[in-house]
A and B are shown apart, each in its own frame.
Chain A
Amino acid sequence: MKLLTHNMLTSKCLKGVTVGYPLGIVAKDIKVSEVDFNSEFIARIIPKLDWATLWKAAESIGHVGELPQTLIQDFETNEEFLKKVHHVLLEVEVINGDLLCPESGRKFPINDGIPNMLLNEDEV
């Protein structure tokens, strides 16, 4: 699971949970691989992200590097910055671990890179 996917996931559907975002991450295994860098793609994906969530996720798994905590202004033209974002979004993957609902503490296990977001009937 990439941090880009984590950015899209919420546990709001749990009964009694009002925001459910962002999910915490407990990573047991992390894989870092090289992915081709395309600055235009990263620049176009940034507006779709919740920046604070991305930063916190990268930080919590020890891969935040020099990524700034707040999104910089002229990011489209800043190659150095876009490369850092590229790295955390696409090159870092959580292979095994858990996602955690921020309100209820409910765990969503990640195995072989696939998060299990299924809920029991009594949880919805």
Chain B
Amino acid sequence: MNTPIVKLSDKDLESVYEPSEDSFLLIDALEADLEVLKAMKPVMCLEIGSGSGIVITALAMALKKHCQCYHLAIDINLDACRISKKTAAENLVDIDIAQMDLLNCIRTGNVFDVVVFNPPYVVTTDDEISNKQILFKAWAGGTNGRKVMERVFPKIPHILSNTGTFYLLVIEANDPEYILRVFTDLNMVGEIIAERKIRGEHLYILRFKKIK
């Protein structure tokens, strides 16, 4: 998978998450799954919290060679929405963007074939999530670092198509085993498909599918 060109000015970096190890691990995991993804011929993909847009753009670039696909990116931060749009355009892929709090205004209907989420996962106090500085939203995850991501968990089965796949990045402190169990209760099956240790953080990629 080619890495998209992402241009962020110093000004952009004040409010938009800079592609980091977590972004790259998620892209690597999608790349490792690319043959499976191509075989399922996804027609609708969604990224929650697209930030610079690097992940969904990488996915769109890889799928474009193989099939046509619609891509939607959501972020709560308008600057991130704008930069995601720009990143897509600079890499010649078509991605629609909506500014939204998680999946708040997405209708249920089991339409998305691929959903990816690299959430704010750092363990912080719950207050830090609503810090006025928008960049806090990129990483502040509250208690167990799960406060933001777990709001979308129960919605995933309602937006994912029956053959769809959900990719989630988490860290050790979020308790990946606990998250896998939460999804079991949602009638989905998950597994760890990639992990990487970086300075003081142990990153994991979880992949979920619906139980048939």
Contact = CB atoms under 8 A, between A and B. Distances in A.
Contacts, number: 80
A13 B72 contact: no
B43 interface: yes
Contact of B67 (A5, A41, A112, A114): A41
B100 A113 contact: no
Interface stretch (B11-19, B24-32, B75-83, B116-124): B75-83
Interface string B180-194: 000000000000000
B100 A114 contact: no
B175 interface: no
Nearest to A44: B43
A10 B97 contact: no
Given A44-B43, A48-B111, A118-B99, A9 B68 contact: no
A104 interface: no
A114 B85 CA distance: 9
Interface in B56-89: 67-70, 72, 76, 78, 81-82, 85
Given A44-B41, A114-B99, A115-B98, A9 B105 contact: yes
30 contacts: A1-B98, A2-B70, A4-B70, A5-B98, A9-B105, A9-B106, A10-B107, A11-B105, A13-B104, A13-B105, A36-B68, A38-B67, A40-B68, A41-B43, A41-B67, A44-B41, A44-B43, A45-B70, A48-B43, A48-B44, A113-B85, A113-B96, A114-B85, A114-B97, A115-B98, A116-B99, A117-B104, A118-B76, A119-B101, A124-B104
Interface of A: 1-2, 4-5, 8-13, 21, 35-36, 38, 40-41, 44-45, 48, 50, 90, 108, 112-119, 124
